[in-house]
Structures are given as structure tokens and as C-alpha cells.
């Protein structure tokens, strides 16, 4: 009996130790490399134009505008629920800058993309503020198919959309589910022991 209880407690501990979300993808654009990205298009790393205090922060910028995604993650992520956090700066004077954040489904979907955030004037989902200052954004989303994260500057003339500090993590299965499962296993083992 003691062995079964100890075994169930050990399983419960091991399962619950893995329920906290670890980052699936992070990118701060420091170091001048876009190695985590493929199909780079016009994406370039530049010094933050608003960072007057050293050391200079490096951020993603675009040399021209694009449609359908301009820079895609090299990694392909599994379908599921995720949280994403990032910083965005859109600076186009009094007009819109045109930033987009979305998913590019790599297979299995008639709809090849899903946009998560867009500039306010897009008529779509909106959310990104183009006011010439850095803003932090976060969102929980569900991807129905395997995907790549994609970014773009959609509105000409380009050169006015900046991204930084991406952190994306899979949403973990709640600890209660793991504990319930390990408890049921313990009860089944206890019942089996009594019947023997």
C-alpha cells in the first residue's frame, strides 16, 4: 500500500513539474543575426531609433512593404494553444505604419494564414497602435494547424515599423488535469491490490 501511494505521489510530482509553460520561441534581435527566421524578405536588424540610452537596443525593421508576410520563423510549430508577447513601434507621423503579426499554416488548411494583430486602419483585427512609441502586446491564440510565425510592414513607404522582444509559449495542460490523472491511477492500483 505504501509503495502505491509513494508511486502515485512521485508520478503526480513529475507531472505537475512540467505544467509551467516554457518558451517555445524567443527573439530579441540582439547580435545582428536573423538565424531564427527564414524567407527574410526585407527584414533587417537596426538600432532602435528611440533608444538614446546605451547600450543601443537592436530591433527588427523592414526596408520596404510587403503583403502576405515578409519574414517567417525558421521553426514550424505544432497546432495548439499559445501565448505570444512582443513589443511594437509604428511611426508614420499622423498616418498608419502598417505592422502585421500572423501565422502561416504550412499544411492541412484551405485558409493558409491567420492574422493575430494588424495596424488600426486595416479594417481587420487591429490592435497595433501607430503613435511613435513602443507598446507591449500579448495574446492567447489557437492554431488549428502547424504554422510559422510571420511579420510584415504592409503600408508604404516602409522603414517605419519596428518589432522587438518576441516570446511565444505553448499553453500548458492545467495542473489539475495531471493531478486528477495520477489520482485515478493511484485508485486503480489500490483497487487492484485489494482484489488480489
Residue-range domain boundaries for the chain? 1-20+172-196, 21-171
Q: Identify the pLDDT of residue 73.
A: 94
Give me the CATH code for the 21-171 domain, please: 2.60.120.260
User: Mean of the pLDDT values across residues 64-89?
Assistant: 89
How far apart are the C-alpha atoms of 45 and 71, rounded to whole Å?
Answer: 12
3-state secondary structure of 28: coil
Q: What is the pLDDT of residue 111?
A: 63
Check residue 78 and give its pLDDT. Answer: 93
Looking at the chain, the whole-number percentage of residues with pLDDT higher than 90 is 35
Question: Can you tell me the distance from the alpha carbon of 50 to that of 61, in angstroms, rounded to the nearest whole number?
Answer: 13
Q: Which one is predicted more confidently, 115 or 17?
A: 115
Q: Would you call the peptide bond into 157 cis, given omega within 30 degrees of 0 as the criterion?
A: yes
Is the model more confident about 70 or about 125? 70
Q: How far apart are CA 6 and CA 186, in angstroms?
A: 9
pLDDT mean across residues, the chain = 78
Higher per-residue confidence, 44 vs 18: 44
Distance CA 169, CA 173 (A): 12
pLDDT in tens, 79-132: 999 999 999 998 866 567 788 899 999 876 556 888 888 877 665 576 888 888
DSSP states along 75-133: S-B-SEEEEEEEEEEE--TTS---EEEEEEE-SS-SS-EEEEEEEGGGSSS-EE--SSS
**43-47/58-62 β-pairing:** antiparallel
Backbone angles phi, psi at 182, to 5 degrees: -70, -35
pLDDT (tens digit per residue) in 134-156: 999 999 999 989 999 999 888 76
Q: In this predicted structure, what is the pLDDT of residue 142?
A: 93
Amino acid at each position: 500500500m505504501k509503495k502505491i501511494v509513494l508511486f502515485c505521489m512521485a508520478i503526480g510530482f513529475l507531472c505537475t513539474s512540467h505544467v509551467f509553460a516554457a518558451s517555445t520561441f524567443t527573439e530579441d534581435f540582439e547580435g545582428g543575426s536573423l538565424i531564427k527566421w527564414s524567407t527574410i524578405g526585407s527584414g533587417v536588424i537596426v538600432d532602435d531609433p528611440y533608444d538614446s540610452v546605451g547600450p543601443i537596443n537592436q530591433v527588427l525593421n523592414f526596408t520596404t512593404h510587403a503583403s502576405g508576410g515578409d519574414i517567417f520563423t525558421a521553426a514550424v510549430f505544432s497546432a495548439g494553444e499559445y501565448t505570444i508577447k512582443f513589443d511594437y513601434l509604428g511611426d508614420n507621423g499622423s498616418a498608419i505604419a502598417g505592422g502585421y503579426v500572423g501565422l502561416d499554416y504550412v499544411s492541412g488548411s484551405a485558409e493558409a494564414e491567420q492574422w493575430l494583430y494588424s495596424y488600426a486602419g486595416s479594417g481587420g483585427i487591429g490592435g497595433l497602435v501607430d503613435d511613435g512609441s513602443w507598446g507591449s502586446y500579448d495574446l492567447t491564440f489557437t492554431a488549428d494547424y502547424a504554422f510559422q510565425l510571420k511579420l510584415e510592414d504592409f503600408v508604404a513607404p516602409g522603414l517605419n515599423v519596428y518589432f522587438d522582444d518576441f516570446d511565444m509559449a505553448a499553453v500548458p495542460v492545467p495542473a489539475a488535469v495531471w493531478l486528477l490523472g495520477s489520482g485515478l491511477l493511484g485508485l486503480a492500483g489500490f483497487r487492484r491490490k485489494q482484489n488480489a
